Amino acid sequence: MKILLLTIPVALLVAYSQIMLKWRMLNIDVVDMQAIPLLPRMLKYLSDPFILSAYLTAFLSSLVWMYVITKLPLVTAFPVYIGITFVLVIVGGWYFLSEAITLIRLASVALILTGIILGVKS
């Protein structure tokens, strides 16, 4: 249970950052942005408060992750964290971005959750 309590916050932060970036990139006028040279375009992206929040959240997740790996074995913590993040991104993509959840994705989620359960119990 300790492993889940420590890894879920990291997974939530990473999933938020990925979903926020995707959502924001879908809502920025890409056609106009492609006409802007690379450096000004990157500065415009970084001045967007939603994109900035995604990067700050990703940075915060790395700080939390540093704490987590001091408390748990890496060979256990990393697969659990990646698996939970994968599941959260699939659910978040479906809920917030209207992305499709296919039978293959559902099967992969079931396998990942099974792997997390087995990994936590071992």
| Rounded distance between C-alpha atoms, residue 56 and residue 62, angstroms | 10
pLDDT in the model for residue 29: 67
pLDDT in the model for residue 31: 63
pLDDT in the model for residue 107: 95
| Rounded distance between C-alpha atoms, residue 50 and residue 98, angstroms | 19
| Rounded distance between C-alpha atoms, residue 93 and residue 17, angstroms | 12
Surface-to-core class of residue 66, CB atoms within 10 Å of its CB (0-12 exposed, 13-18 middle, 19+ buried): exposed
Per-residue pLDDT tens, the chain, 122 aa: give them. 788 899 999 999 999 999 999 999 888 766 676 778 888 888 888 889 999 999 999 999 999 999 999 999 998 899 899 999 999 999 999 999 999 999 999 999 999 999 888 877 77
**Residues belonging to the chain:** 122
Q: What is the largest CA-CA distance in the chain?
A: 53
DSSP 8-class letter at 36: S
Give pTM, 2 decimals: 0.85
pLDDT in the model for residue 30: 65
| Rounded distance between C-alpha atoms, residue 119 and residue 114, angstroms | 8
| Rounded distance between C-alpha atoms, residue 2 and residue 42, angstroms | 40
